[in-house]
A and B are shown apart, each in its own frame.
Chain A
Amino acid sequence: KNQVEQSPQSLIILEGKNCTLQCNYTVSPFSNLRWYKQDTGRGPVSLTIMTFSENTKSNGRYTATLDADTKQSSLHITASQLSDSASYICVVSGNSLSGGSYIPTFGRGTSLIVHP
């Protein structure tokens, strides 16, 4: 069964500090992995997409990494701001061409709180 596990479940950091969120998946065959940010009371918004051939991708202060061999991804947030307080969700899509499912598998998210 396809699964996406995220850690930690929750994280509290001080403004200005860095942090790293983890995502492990068992989805196979793999198509892509996205990180979404969900502010309280809003729908998730895509931050970045990682495909099989990509190792690192940055979007401002957000940097995502992917190790397709170990099926792990991380999201690193640099110089955190109060507005980074949100839930971060890892979503992995499969590849239907090889008999897999393109239906996305969602992680349960990491809740990040940034304190002043």
Chain B
Amino acid sequence: EAQVTQNPRYLITVTGKKLTVTCSQNMNHEYMSWYRQDPGLGLRQIYYSMNVEVTDKGDVPEGYKVSRKEKRNFPLILESPSPNQTSLYFCASSINRVLSSPLHFGNGTRLTVT
């Protein structure tokens, strides 16, 4: 089944403790991206990747890192999480950067930073 898989689904951590949220897609998509979703603000793009070893900042990249060493994986790294990074995170992929095909989203990771 074609899908985008995020792990974990729920994560509670403390300020400053490094964490990684994994994202994997099995559709051989070139384009992958990360979003955070907050009440009243909608989805905001954190980082995106057009292909292996090609990443770029989205609208809200501060406090986040990403890497794209393999086509299927696009992990999101929080080196020193802070409470304002408490949010619902989504990973998505698409065939290419032009987005003539839809974004396929994972089911989200709900992160709480205390």
Contact = CB atoms under 8 A, between A and B. Distances in A.
B99 interface: yes
B46 to A, nearest CB: 12
B29 interface: no
A107 B42 contact: yes
B97 A44 contact: no
A24 to B, nearest CB: 15
Given A32-B100, A43-B105, A103 B48 contact: yes
Grouping DSSP codes into helix (H, G, I), strand (E, B) and loop, the B interface class, with mixed when no group exceeds half, is loop
Interface in A12-68: 31-32, 34, 36, 41-46, 49
Interface residues of A, number: 22
B43 interface: yes
B65 interface: no
Contacts of A44: 43, 90, 103, 105
Contacts of B4: 43
Highest count of chain B CB atoms <10 Å: which of A43, A89, A91: A43
10 contacts: A36-B102, A43-B92, A43-B107, A43-B108, A46-B102, A49-B100, A49-B102, A93-B98, A103-B48, A106-B43
